[in-house]
């Protein structure tokens, strides 16, 4: 059997596809797997690193603006989409997949549309709480649309096509218990662990707030805190701390890292996570049952992060704070208010876990296999 995957643009779109490809390869070692991505995008690096073949097509996104320059850009994107659909059709005819699977990104539209036109069963995975433009456009063509939460079903015109699978989380997130993870990190002295990190969009302002929060924590070190500042933010956070009279080396409970490479261990050990509201991160939080303070990025198309965060906030699993007007003092107060209230911590953890679907990869696999039958 042959399986065609299409995804791109962000790790949040690519990693679910890699997880499903992995279970297909484990269970059917002789199956063919081919990825289709967009020229020059992240998938052209991540997919080969994971050991899969990828071919690319030229595709550009659609801008939600009525400015003359943006309208002209969108006309070019529509032209590219027509050509990309032709290119995808040729790839599909050559590869002869038994099913086509899309997990997000603009490249999914021409590839899955072409697959549907050729009579290939098609499935779409939408990791956000509400469908993005690509998923909306593909809904008439797709045989199944897989979503993260039951409450997502109401946002679709064809609820009969919807399958609640959750979003895949890497298996290494579950290999350690929380106690084992804390011991491995050396944060098992009884103080709670805060983990914080921001995406690239709008990270500069949030890193500045985090530096102010770390200064407040440095006074008494009531918590352990691991903060991933990112490549650009790392030197700026360290500089800001030193300017405020805090030497990170003198405060071992407070760790500022350029990148959290051992994210599975760190997230498993966390008592509270402070982060954006990207769909993949939220799937990890729900799978692990970790309370969170979410600060959705205001720079994401169609306010996806705000809608993702609202879903967890409405279920009492997370405290949602708007970025506007936020500062380090408010973040510190919010974190302390949660960590110093055991009953609130337990309730948030239970509510978060209730939203989790740890076997999401298998559910997606089962959905794909159902179409093959």
Which residues are CB-neighbours of 152 under 8 A, at least 6 positions away? 126, 129, 130, 131, 162, 164
Condensed to tens digits (0 to 9), the pLDDT of residues 179-198 reads 999 999 999 999 999 999 99
Q: Reduced to 3 states, what is the DSSP secondary structure of residue 19? A: helix
What's residue 61's pLDDT? 62
Band of the pLDDT at 82, cuts 50, 70, 90? confident
DSSP lists the bridge partners of residue 36 as: 6, 55
What's residue 100's pLDDT? 98
The two three-digit tokens of residue 241, written as one number = 């701390």
- Percent of the chain, pLDDT > 70? 94
What's residue 83's pLDDT? 86
Band of the pLDDT at 9, cuts 50, 70, 90? confident
Condensed to tens digits (0 to 9), the pLDDT of residues 318-329 reads 999 999 999 999
Inter-residue contact 278 to 308 (CB < 8 Å): yes
Condensed to tens digits (0 to 9), the pLDDT of residues 24-78 reads 999 999 999 999 999 998 999 999 999 999 999 988 666 555 566 555 555 565 6
Q: Mean pLDDT in the chain?
A: 92
Inter-residue contact 265 to 274 (CB < 8 Å): no
What is the pTM assigned to this prediction?
Answer: 0.86
Q: Where does residue 261 rank: exposed (0-12), middle (13-18), buried (19+ CB within 10 A)? A: exposed
């Amino acid at each position: 059997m042959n399986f065609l995957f299409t995804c791109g643009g962000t790790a949040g779109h690519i990693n679910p596809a890699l997880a499903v490809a992995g279970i297909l390869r484990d269970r059917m070692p002789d199956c063919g797997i081919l990825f289709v991505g967009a020229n020059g995008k992240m998938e052209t690096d991540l997919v080969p690193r994971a050991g899969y073949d990828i071919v690319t097509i030229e595709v550009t996104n659609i801008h939600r603006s009525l400015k003359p320059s943006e309208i002209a850009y969108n006309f070019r994107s529509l032209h590219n989409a027509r050509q990309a659909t032709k290119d995808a059709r040729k790839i599909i005819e050559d590869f002869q997949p038994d099913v086509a699977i899309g997990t997000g990104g603009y490249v999914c539209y021409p590839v899955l549309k072409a697959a549907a036109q050729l009579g290939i069963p098609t499935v779409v995975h939408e990791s956000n709480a509400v469908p993005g433009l690509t998923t909306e456009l593909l809904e008439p063509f797709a045989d199944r649309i897989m979503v993260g939460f039951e409450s997502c079903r109401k946002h679709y015109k064809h609820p009969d096509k919807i399958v609640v699978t959750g979003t895949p989380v890497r298996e290494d997130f579950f290999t350690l218990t929380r106690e084992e993870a804390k011991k491995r990190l050396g944060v098992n002295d009884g103080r709670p662990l805060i983990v914080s990190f921001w995406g690239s969009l709008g990270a500069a302002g949030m890193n500045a707030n985090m530096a102010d929060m770390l200064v407040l924590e440095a006074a008494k070190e009531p918590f352990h805190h691991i903060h991933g500042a990112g490549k650009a933010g790392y030197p700026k956070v360290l500089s800001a701390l030193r300017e405020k009279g805090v030497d990170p080396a003198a405060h071992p409970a407070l760790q500022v890292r350029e990148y959290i490479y051992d994210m599975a261990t760190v997230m498993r050990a966390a008592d509270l996570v402070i982060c954006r509201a990207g769909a993949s991160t939220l799937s990890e939080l729900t799978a692990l049952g970790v309370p969170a303070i979410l600060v959705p990025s205001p720079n994401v198309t169609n306010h996806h992060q705000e809608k993702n965060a609202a879903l967890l906030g409405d279920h009492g699993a997370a405290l949602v704070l708007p970025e506007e007007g936020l500062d380090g003092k408010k973040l510190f107060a919010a974190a302390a208010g949660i960590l110093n209230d055991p009953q609130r911590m337990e309730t948030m953890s239970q509510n978060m876990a209730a939203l989790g679907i740890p076997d999401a990869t298998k559910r997606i696999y089962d959905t794909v296999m159902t179409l093959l039958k």
